[in-house]
């Protein structure tokens, strides 16, 4: 059969497809430059902070460390804080301190590695306090002791640092989507830690979870209603005590930051709906630059800095 009479139609279809592609590419380039401009602008003029006084904030890992400081900081801006931890004594201590400062807080003892325990606790929180609108996951973020002590069991490390995310998200995220309102904040520590392979892997996995979760929300067309933030936390900077555990080649290169100040910066990023930050802030850009360098160059830079840790 002779299909030569269809040739003009075929050419028109190809021309149409090419025009659509060119329009899409032009829109993409324009949108990219707008976003770059806004990103640079936000460095000098950050976006306005949202009001968190009506939010019910669940913080997993509230009994100590950065989790406790985040609870105190969230309560100070008027949010109703739900402290979640397997350590009931430390958890109650955090709530007591918040209430002494006239904040609103509740303590719930929960093993976040247990799916049934998480589901039961979330149902109780929703009944007692109300719908959960913010989830901050601090479990599994290494403390200074992690770097000088013996590595914990692999299964326990992965359950606390990774699996617990899924149980909490399964219990909380679908309801955020239905209400078209919510914010999830994930904390990840440095990517690589000497002689702590499971801990290092778990911190990388949190970054992968962040990307997958962001894509999941985008596909549901909820990126303007349910926000996801990733915080890269560098413990050798946040904790002054860590100087005794890790020998830095250039001790004063980065300086240290009080955990309370770090928590304040994390909450500020949450209030401005920032997608990805690091504590301290400039290290995030260092990490991005290092990904562009050849592998041998990044290894040399790590040797120069010699923190014993990786820039994820």
Query: Do residues 279 and 296 share a domain?
Result: yes
Query: Do residues 135 and 8 share a domain?
Result: no
d(C-alpha 133, C-alpha 183), whole Å: 6
CATH assignment of the domain containing 78? 3.40.50.720
36 in a domain, yes or no?
Answer: yes
Which conformational region is residue 65 in: left (phi greater than 0), alpha (psi within -120 to 50 degrees), or beta? left
Q: Cβ of 5: how many Cβ atoms within 10 Å?
A: 7
212 in a domain, yes or no?
Answer: yes
pTM for the full predicted model: 0.81
Query: Do residues 3 and 98 share a domain?
Result: no
Query: Do residues 224 and 98 share a domain?
Result: yes
**Half-sphere exposure of residue 194: CA atoms within 13 angstroms, side-chain side:** 12
Query: Do residues 281 and 132 share a domain?
Result: yes
Query: Do residues 57 and 36 share a domain?
Result: no
pLDDT tens digit string along 98-127? Answer: 999 999 999 999 999 999 999 999 999 999
Query: Do residues 74 and 139 share a domain?
Result: yes
312 in a domain, yes or no?
Answer: no
Residue reference for tokens 């402290």: 83
What is the per-residue pLDDT for 170? Answer: 96
Query: Do residues 31 and 157 share a domain?
Result: no
Q: Which of 14, 29, 45 is the last residue of a domain?
A: 45
Closest by Cα among 69, 59, 154 to 108: 59
pLDDT tens digit string along 127-175? Answer: 999 999 999 998 876 654 444 455 667 888 889 989 999 999 999 999 9
280 in a domain, yes or no?
Answer: yes
d(C-alpha 69, C-alpha 75), whole Å: 10
What is the per-residue pLDDT for 150? Answer: 57
310 in a domain, yes or no?
Answer: no
Query: Do residues 10 and 109 share a domain?
Result: no
Most confident of 3-17, 79-93, 258-272, 274-288: 79-93
d(C-alpha 71, C-alpha 83), whole Å: 7
Range of the domain at 217: 53-305
d(C-alpha 255, C-alpha 238), whole Å: 9
- What DSSP string runs through 143-211? PTHHHHSPPPPHHHHHIIIIIHHHHHHHHHHHHHHHHT-EEEEEEE--S-BTT-HHHHHHHHHHHHHHH
Q: How many residues does the chain have?
A: 312
Residue reference for tokens 């929703």: 126
Query: Do residues 136 and 203 share a domain?
Result: yes
136 in a domain, yes or no?
Answer: yes
What is the per-residue pLDDT for 311? Answer: 43
Q: Are strands 134-137 and 104-109 parallel, antiparallel or unpaired?
A: unpaired
d(C-alpha 287, C-alpha 305), whole Å: 13
Contact between 56 and 129 (Cβ < 8 Å):
yes
Q: Which of 45, 64, 81 is the last residue of a domain?
A: 45
Residue reference for tokens 């009506």: 54
Percent of the chain with pLDDT over 70: 79
Query: Do residues 66 and 139 share a domain?
Result: yes
DSSP class of residue 257? -
Question: Which stretches does DSSP call E strand in the chain?
Answer: 56-60, 80-85, 104-109, 134-137, 182-188, 226-233, 276-279
190 in a domain, yes or no?
Answer: yes
Query: Do residues 23 and 139 share a domain?
Result: no
183 in a domain, yes or no?
Answer: yes
DSSP class of residue 77? T
Specify the number of domains making up the chain: 2
At 182, phi and psi to the nearest 5?
170, 170
């Amino acid at each position: 059969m002779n299909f030569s009479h269809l040739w003009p139609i075929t050419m028109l279809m190809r021309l149409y497809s090419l025009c659509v592609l060119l329009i899409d590419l032009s829109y993409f380039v324009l949108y990219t430059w707008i976003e770059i401009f806004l990103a640079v602008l936000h460095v000098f003029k950050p976006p306005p902070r949202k009001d968190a006084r009506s939010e019910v904030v669940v913080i997993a890992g509230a009994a100590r460390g950065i989790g406790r400081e985040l609870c105190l900081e969230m309560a100070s801006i008027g949010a109703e804080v739900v402290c979640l931890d397997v350590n009931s004594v430390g958890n109650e201590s955090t709530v007591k301190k918040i209430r002494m400062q006239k904040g609103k807080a509740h303590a719930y003892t929960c093993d976040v590695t247990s799916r049934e325990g998480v589901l039961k606790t979330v149902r109780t929180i929703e009944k007692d306090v109300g719908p959960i609108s913010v989830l901050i996951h601090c479990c599994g973020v290494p403390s200074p002791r992690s770097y000088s002590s013996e590595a914990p069991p692999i299964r326990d490390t992965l359950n606390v640092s990774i699996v617990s995310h899924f149980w909490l998200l399964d219990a909380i995220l679908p309801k955020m989507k239905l209400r078209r309102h919510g914010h999830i904040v994930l904390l990840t520590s440095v990517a690589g830690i000497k002689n702590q392979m499971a801990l290092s892997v778990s911190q990388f996995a949190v970054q992968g979870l962040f990307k997958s979760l962001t894509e999941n929300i985008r596909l549901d067309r909820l990126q303007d209603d349910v926000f996801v933030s990733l915080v890269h936390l560098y413990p050798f900077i946040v904790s002054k005590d860590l100087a005794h555990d890790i020998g830095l080649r250039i001790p004063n290169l980065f300086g240290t930051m009080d955990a309370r100040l770090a928590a304040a910066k994390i909450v500020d990023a949450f209030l401005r709906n920032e997608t990805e930050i690091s504590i301290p802030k400039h290290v995030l850009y260092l990490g991005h630059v290092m990904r562009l360098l050849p592998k041998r160059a990044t290894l040399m830079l790590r040797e120069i800095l010699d923190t014993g840790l990786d820039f994820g």
